[in-house]
Amino acid sequence: GRRLAALVALEEKRFEDADRLLREWIDAHPQSDDARAILADLLSRVRRFDDAEQLFQSARARKPSDLTLATRYANHLGRRGDFTKARRIFTEVAVAGPNQAVHHANQGIAEYWLGAFKAAIRSLARATAMEPTNASHWWNLSHALLQSGRLAEGFEVYEQRVELMGAPDWWSDRWRGESLEPGTPLVLDSEQGLGDGIQFARFASDAAERGAKVIVRAHPRLLPVLSRVRGVTDVLSTEVEPPAGVRRAKLLSLPRVVGIQSDADLGHRVPYLSVEAKRIDKWRRRLHPEGLRVGIIWQGNPRYAQDFLRSPPLAHFLPLTQIPGVTVYSLQKFHGVDQLDAVDFTEHPITPLGPELDLDVAFLDTAATMCALDLVITSDTSTAHLAGGLGVPTWVVIPFAPDWRWPRDSPHTAWYPSMRIFRQQTPRDWPGVFEQVEEALRAELDRKPL
């Protein structure tokens, strides 16, 4: 009873219930290492890392060769940012259990975290060969290929996300990049997060050049900004079904469809987002007329499992407010705005614009303000893609093991030529990143006294 109830609660992410049920199970069965391991896993997932570590250590002392326990422990190490140790354990597990694809996949993911792309691609390719219908192996392999710069192969493999996760009815008749009769309606379906929709909208112009009358179907919040993308004729909410028989394609499949081979094929499409001049003027009037005007965004969507690794606390931005000649504006909306409550504004002057932005339609005021500012500094969230797509000067702060679209070994990305990247050199080291940001901001002021 309790065991099953605990596992159901875990599956449904009811972590408090799961915690209580697991502890009751342990009280009733003090010898159950299984229950302790699952509780340790739960504590790790809710970021009680030290408590989890203690439980894992005692369980592993009793069962040193249990591969399931070792895998759980390595996942915990990955969550807390100890990627080197996680890779070592995942590799040991793959050697001990070579016939299980999941062990090679886990090894590949840890190699990917560390930027060892050749090794990651080898391990993940082994996993896909052993379990060719497992979509997550292909998904992870595509990310390793993409981040290592092998875009053509990466986007080819990326298609498996559709093939193996239930292709829609229209998939067999999808648009494959051929020229169309001028004015043929083509619905491009966005998917995944808001940032993905913004990043890939640039390829609408390729479809338009091939004759399509492009209709982008996306999350309702994206429609105002996507309606102004070059090449887009119309937009449609994901809550509305397109007419039967209309040609369709997945927006995130377009790089493959239009033949993207390398970084050199990306940058010329930027800027592809725009805002009307009068909206920009309205927000420009709200800004300080002198000095370097900097907009900041720190928090991504907390529902994303790795958000705690990618979203730096606002506290790290505060020293930037004390640089003479810099005026800081918060563009943060929704999640993370509560962090402003703890700020002493006399010591750290920040003008919070977030609550006033986008009251009529999503994203457009934020975009207009970005166009009026001198610089945007943001974490890896949808607003980073908004600023990059507008072509405004943008600095993005990213974690040690970033998402596939951010390069590890360069401060620049071909996706967004106006962007500069500041990456953690060791896991979870935000102070080091913001030292670099502060130094760069002072250099910016020296170069461009305003």
Q: What DSSP assignment string belongs to 133-184?
A: T-HHHHHHHHHHHHHTT-HHHHHHHHTHHHHSS---GGGGG---S----TTE
271 residue type, one letter: P
Structure tokens at 175: 């648009």
> Quick check: 162 and 174 in contact, CB under 8 A?
no
Name the residue type at position 431: P
Per-residue confidence in pLDDT tens, the chain, 450 aa: 788 888 888 888 898 988 998 998 888 888 788 888 999 999 999 999 999 999 999 999 999 999 999 999 999 999 999 999 999 999 999 999 999 999 999 999 999 999 999 999 999 999 999 999 999 999 999 999 999 999 999 999 999 999 888 889 899 899 999 999 999 999 999 999 999 999 999 999 999 999 999 999 999 999 999 999 999 999 999 999 998 889 999 999 999 999 999 999 997 889 999 999 999 999 999 998 889 999 999 999 998 888 989 999 999 999 999 999 999 999 999 999 999 999 998 899 999 999 999 998 999 999 999 999 999 999 999 999 999 999 999 999 999 999 999 999 899 999 999 999 999 999 999 999 999 999 999 999 988 755
Q: How distant, in Å, are the alpha carbons of 97, 206, 309, 367, 437 from that of 340?
A: 49, 42, 20, 21, 20
pLDDT score recorded for residue 3: 81
Residue 307 burial (10 A CB sphere; 0-12, 13-18, 19+): middle
The dihedrals phi and psi of 395, each to the nearest 5 degrees, come to -110, 130
3-class SS of residue 397: strand
pLDDT at residue 29 in the model: 87
Residue 18 · residue 3 · CB < 8 Å: no
Q: Strands of 247-250's sheet, edge to edge?
A: 232-237, 212-218, 184-189, 247-250
Q: For 416, which DSSP code?
A: B
Domains and CATH numbers, the chain: 2-163 (1.25.40.10), 169-260 (3.40.50), 277-447 (3.40.50.2000)
Amino acid code (one letter) for 231: G
* Per-residue pLDDT at 447: 85
- How far apart are the C-alpha atoms of 86 and 110, rounded to whole Å? 7
Q: What's residue 89's pLDDT?
A: 98
Integer Cα distance of 417 and 421 in angstroms:
11
Q: Which pLDDT score is estimated for 267?
A: 77
pTM above 0.85, yes or no: yes
pLDDT value of position 86: 97
The tokens of 220 are what? 């309702």
Task: In whole angstroms, give the CA distance from residue 112 to residue 96.
Answer: 21
